[in-house]
Structure 1
Amino acid sequence: MPIKIIHLSDIHIASPYFIPDMYDDVVREINDIEPDIVVITGDLTNEGRLSEYEEASRYIKKIKCKNMVILPGNHDTRNAGYLLFEEYFGERIKTLRYKNITVVGVDSSEPDIDDGHIGRDKYPYIIDSFNQNKDDFKIFALHHHVIPVPLCGRERNVPTDAGDLLDVLDRLKIDMILCGHRHVPWLWNLNDMIVLNAGTASTSRTKGKISQSYNYIEIDDFLKIYRISSNGEKYILLNRKIYKDEL
């Protein structure tokens, strides 16, 4: 049986753009999949306020999965929301290991600004976390997009240290990066490292004719990546052999 991973992002619960019925439909689909891991790459709220975190907590608890990596986005750290994030969702930098999968999630947000940043002080944690199980399938998660995404107009908010971060991840032979922020789903292949952006799963803040969506990943002998749209349609983005005996 493959290991099943759901990647959600930019759900903006409690914002004027949030669509509760769409979110509930997405959660039903996710629970039917019975994922082994769920990764949410930020922007759970809109303004980072207490009432929004309370509501976000209620909605996210509808997802039935024991192994969750939840990260803040730039909207979540507004109004001292980064403190509330820790109260409701735990540490803003975390590692999850499930079978032969290692997921390292790091907060890329800065209080009250939209720009992203990881910082050299976090690189040792990232390196040590992945080096503990070097033969695992390695996934790094953050909110901000590390490579520009099409259909987003003038580029902004790529992490200020994106080049150094990508160098670290490339030397670690990371298999996949999960990110969001731009509300546009996309996949890049950089030095055999998959960079997978999620769109918004449950808001009307889309671009052009791009529909709401989330990512579904299956890992066994093959890596399969699907985009699942708001109407339930499933598009395969990638299907390739994994050359790791441990998986």
Structure 2
Amino acid sequence: MGTQGRLTICQISDIHCGSPYFIPDLLERSILEINDLEPTAVVVSGDLTDAGYRQDFETSAEYVRRFKCDNVMVIPGNHDSRNVGYIHFERLFGERYSVIDFNEAIMVGVDSSEPDLNDGRVGREHYGFIRQAFAEAEDKLKIFVVHHHLVPIPGTGRERNIIFDAGDLLELLNDVGVDLVLMGHKHVPHSWKMENMFLVNAGTASTTRLRGNTRPCYNVIEIEDGRVRVFRKYPFKERELAVDFNAETHEYTRVGENVAQELARDPADVVGGGLPGGDPETGD
């Protein structure tokens, strides 16, 4: 159980070890803050490295080992699958598909990356694994973790990297009763509600590859008495509530979603796709 009797899950994403935009102080501070929360689980939702090279995986593994948590779920992102990087991922982090089962919730993570491609795909061959994992969850809160986003994220320019089989996957997740989807990839924190699912995108925790006025951040999810609250935490700074929903009634409040408004101050940034810190050719 997490802090103060709650189930607390911290999601950190897109740390990009090896990138010239990587800021070690931000990641080290994030790890210290997360450890202070004594979380039930930590999720690292992809793009641990910038190009999938061995030395960058070794660096990222050193950071991940600093989390003082018994339940750490790590999945790869598109950058991690470059240059046959998935071999290093499996050696250092294990399976690319995993399940963590708590008393109150079940969390299923899958690999959506394709070797040397920015595009994502889960694939029908993995739908059985997803369905079976959630079938055994009964009335627990159901959490799905994937790197690529399943719906477009505001303020990210031209949309090119939604999971290829997003429609089929969304139908599957809705069918098995998933409550919360945790994603990364675009470095822009945001959330959507679709049917009875809440889709939450994490920002980058430790790089300056930022769009508009977004800041480095990670997510803190607190689950208690059927209530789910997702906070956006800025290293060294405050945290803000992003989503607050009742897992049974699906009533919700969504706050702090001003990314698109901030970016809209310069329409050229939104339309053109060449946003500050982004990579229009190689993906986020």
TM-score range, shorter chain: over 0.9
* 1:234 to 2:230 alignment: no
Q: What is aligned with 2:183? A: 179
Equivalent positions of 1:25-64 (< 5 A) are: 25-64=29-68
Kindly provide the CA deviation profile for residues 56-88 of structure 1, in whole angstroms up to 9, marking residues without a partner as x. Answer: 111111111110110000000111001110000
Q: Percent sequence identity over matched residues?
A: 44
Distance 1:54 1:13 in 2: 9
Aligned residues: CA RMSD: 1.0
Runs of at least 5 residues in structure 1 that lack an aligned partner in the other structure: none
* Mean CA deviation greater in 234-243 or 53-62: 234-243
Distance 2:214 2:64 in 1: 24
Cα contact 2:179–2:247 (8 A) shared by 1 = no
* 1:195 to 2:193 alignment: no
Equivalent positions of 1:102-121 (< 5 A) are: 102-121=106-125
Kindly provide the CA deviation profile for residues 112-154 of structure 1, in whole angstroms up to 9, marking residues without a partner as x. Answer: 0000000000000000000012211100001000000001000
Cα contact 2:29–2:236 (8 A) shared by 1 = no
Stretches (4+) displaced over 6 A: none
Q: What is aligned with 1:73? A: 77
Distance 1:242 1:193 in 2: 9
Distance 2:75 2:83 in 1: 17
Distance 1:69 1:110 in 2: 19
Secondary structure in 2 matching 1:230: coil
Instruction: State the shift of 1:232 in Å.
Output: 2.0
Distance 2:150 2:83 in 1: 25
Distance 1:134 1:168 in 2: 16
Instruction: State the shift of 1:238 in Å.
Output: 2.1
Equivalent residue pairs, number: 244
Distance 1:25 1:234 in 2: 14
Q: What is aligned with 2:15? A: 11
Cα contact 2:80–2:89 (8 A) shared by 1 = yes
Secondary structure in 2 matching 1:169: helix
Kindly provide the CA deviation profile for residues 140-193 of structure 1, in whole angstroms up to 9, marking residues without a partner as x. Answer: 001000000001000011010000000000011100000000000001011120
Cα contact 2:141–2:247 (8 A) shared by 1 = no
Cα contact 1:102–1:138 (8 A) shared by 2 = yes
Secondary structure in 1 matching 2:114: coil
TM-score computed with the length of structure 2 as normaliser: 0.84
Distance 2:218 2:91 in 1: 26
Amino acid paired to 2:148: H
Q: What is aligned with 2:161? A: 157
Cα contact 1:211–1:230 (8 A) shared by 2 = no
Q: What is aligned with 1:207? A: 211
Distance 2:112 2:40 in 1: 25
Structure showing greater Rg: 2
* 1:224 to 2:233 alignment: no
Distance 1:81 1:224 in 2: 34
Kindly provide the CA deviation profile for residues 10-53 of structure 1, in whole angstroms up to 9, marking residues without a partner as x. Answer: 00012111100111111111011110011111000011011111
Secondary structure in 2 matching 1:48: coil
Secondary structure in 2 matching 1:240: strand
Secondary structure in 2 matching 1:115: strand
Secondary structure in 2 matching 1:76: helix
Distance 2:235 2:138 in 1: 36
Secondary structure in 1 matching 2:149: coil
* 1:100 to 2:98 alignment: no
Cα contact 1:14–1:56 (8 A) shared by 2 = no
